Amino acid sequence: MKVIITGGVAGGASAAARLRRLDEQAEIIVFERSGYISYANCGLPYYIGGVIEDPEELTLQTPESFFARFRVHMKVRHEVTAIHPERKSVSVKNLDTGEEYEESYDKLLLSPGAKPTQPRLPGVEQERLFTLRTVEDTFRIKEYINQNHPQTAVLAGGGFIGLELAENLRALGMDVTIVQRPKQLMNPFDPDMAAFIHSEMRRHGVKLALGHTVEGFETKDNGVDVLLKDEPPLHADMVVLAIGVTPDTALAKDAGLELGLKGSIVVNDRMETSVPDIYAVGDAVQVKHYVTGQNTLLSLAGPANRQGRIAADNICGKDSRYPGSQGSSVIKVFDLTAATTGINETNARKAGLDVDKVILSPMSHAGYYPGGMLMTMKVIFEKSTCRLLGAQIIGYEGVDKRIDVLAAAIHAGLTATRLKDLDLAYAPPYSSAKDPVNMAGFMIENIANGLLKQFHLEQLSSLPTDGSITLLDVRTTQEYAGGHVEGFCNIPVDELRERLTEVDPHKPVYVICQSGLRSYIACRILTGHGYDAYNFAGGFRFYETVIHDRRLTEAATACGMDQT
């Protein structure tokens, strides 16, 4: 059996290695148009910033090491220019010599990945304008920085690459601005959770120009002007386009393969395309979302590697199936860690799901053990069934392990109430006896059983102001004096039982505290005395962060520059 693979990074390299482990006699040839294989896309910004010092650390394998171990022919700087399904061959061009030839196959695996989205804007060909996707892109940016010592940079786009690059350019001492049309960074997160990311970026001096449309680029004063719609331009010594990626599927289209979202390759759960004996994996393919079942695109290394393995299994006669992509991801944002899995509240509502959420601020480990730090968790579930839909966590330590527990719970089909039953490891330096994941489960069970009624940030502005309800802040008098939501009166929770006469029993009571814990206790006290009580999800800490971010973003939209 002869197998041709186009693309030698995550999906292609994983498939090649798996093929060899399953079939020692197969002839396996990988064509990779760049000069590198099996490299870590996610590590590229950290080489630019100097965190990764040795460029060889960016590549997990070389063509020589891959051949030595797997006897797979890795042909770098070779581009597949056409697919001929009718005669089961591909046209190949050696990019170094210009030689062109055809190579036959029994099975063909496409792993072309995705390319940086290139907007059709005036001046996009500027020499000081870069994209970051390949090792060569990385070296080009690094060389430009070393030779020209730029002091300012504008990054167009606030996704994974944009944020990681911003951090690394700041580490080099550069003044960095992120500009984009959406009013939030990191779309996998809901706007309220993205507020914590915005705060951290601003805290480290990154300017955010959110809600602005880039209309073009002009060379000016030995730099680049980023032209904005209805706003003055942003000037910088260099610009990096990081507005997203587009499936690189021109070959598949020309060969007549069925295409889906944004021109991606349609595959079944065996990673088979619409043409016999042609498989496809990675960023170029359309997949099913594991939670919603809807078609989606997810450019992540983990799914690409698993898809490569599944395709290899099926090429070798096995029956492996890809269950769908869940979108689990994590990113370092300066000192913060931000992670997500499943779907966020925004997309859940777009999918027509009737959702609810809990927001909590647990410590990363036992409070009595030194060094514990707060994290913010948002867990999304379906109201009627308590089906666990997704989660977002932002904090300083312990974020990654909690998101992985929640990702496993979603994959296993656990209901959100079952989170309370998970038997998770505990020692004071690492967790609490009631782990944050368990706490989320307790809260959701209380909602399901009617013990907890909530109100949310988006409901605050619509609460009646005619005196028909009571607004109660149960923090200490000192906390209340340091800042509170307008209209809320203050009775500390530990004084509440003795001061119940100050609360009208005939009115619903809406209660807030710093994190949501004391206000929940207050709600139980009130409910036990016959009151109709509602707890504010997330607490004043959550409210303050989100409202402050909204004000800064609105001000930046109005004046064209971030107010840090």
pLDDT band at 101; cut points 50, 70, 90: very high
**b/e for 485-523, b at 16 or more Cβ within 10 A?**
eeebeebbbeebeeeeeebeeeebbbbbbbbbbbbbbbb
Per the CB < 8 A criterion, the answer to whether 243 and 117 are in contact is yes
Torsion of CA 166, 172, 174, 179, to 10 degrees: -10
The strand order across the sheet containing 107-110 reads 73-76, 27-32, 2-6, 107-110, 278-280
Encoded tokens for 386: 């308590």
Q: What is the pLDDT of residues 237-272, one digit of tens each?
A: 999 998 888 999 999 999 999 999 999 999 999 999
* Cα distance between residue 286 and residue 419, in whole Å: 31
Please name the residue that has the structure tokens 């759960």: 269
* Cα distance between residue 158 and residue 242, in whole Å: 7
On the question of pLDDT at 564 being above 50, the answer is no
Contacts of 21 (CB under 8 A, 6+ apart): none
Task: Tell me which DSSP letter residue 259 carries.
Answer: B
Per the CB < 8 A criterion, the answer to whether 357 and 537 are in contact is yes
Contacts 24+ apart (CB under 8 A), 272-277: 272/314, 273/110, 275/85, 276/85, 277/88, 277/105, 277/106, 277/107, 277/108
On the question of pLDDT at 560 being above 70, the answer is no
Q: What is the pLDDT of residues 470-495, one digit of tens each?
A: 999 999 999 999 999 999 999 999 99
Residue 72 burial (C-beta neighbours within 10 Å; 0-12, 13-18, 19+) = buried
On the question of pLDDT at 74 being above 60, the answer is yes
Per the CB < 8 A criterion, the answer to whether 317 and 148 are in contact is no
On the question of pLDDT at 347 being above 70, the answer is yes
Query: CA nearest 112: which of 228, 244, 236, 279?
Result: 279
Coil, strand or helix at 235? strand
**What sign does the dihedral 220-224-227-231 (CA atoms) show?**
negative
Q: What is the mean pLDDT of residues 94-100?
A: 97
pTM of the model as a whole: 0.93
On the question of pLDDT at 297 being above 70, the answer is yes
Per the CB < 8 A criterion, the answer to whether 546 and 525 are in contact is no
Query: CA nearest 28: which of 15, 37, 39?
Result: 15
- In percent, the amount of the chain with pLDDT more than 90 equals 87
Query: CA nearest 14: which of 55, 66, 56, 64?
Result: 66
User: How many other CB atoms are there within 10 angstroms of residue 156's CB atom?
Assistant: 26
> In this predicted structure, what is the pLDDT of residue 563?
44
Instruction: Name the H helices within 51-159.
Output: 63-70, 135-148
pLDDT band at 367; cut points 50, 70, 90: confident
Query: Which phi and psi angles does 299 have, rounded to 5°?
Result: -95, 85
On the question of pLDDT at 407 being above 80, the answer is yes
Encoded tokens for 454: 């909530």
Task: Tell me which DSSP letter residue 325 carries.
Answer: B
On the question of pLDDT at 444 being above 90, the answer is yes
On the question of pLDDT at 280 being above 70, the answer is yes
Contacts of 206 (CB under 8 A, 6+ apart): 166, 167, 170, 176, 177, 178
Q: What is the pLDDT of residues 156-183, one digit of tens each?
A: 999 999 999 999 999 999 999 999 999 9
Query: CA nearest 301: which of 42, 45, 6, 16?
Result: 42
Mean confidence (pLDDT) of the chain: 94
Q: What is the pLDDT of residues 23-71, one digit of tens each?
A: 999 999 999 998 888 776 778 899 899 998 888 777 778 899 999 999 9
pLDDT band at 274; cut points 50, 70, 90: very high
The length of the chain, given as a count of residues: 564
489 is an active site residue = no
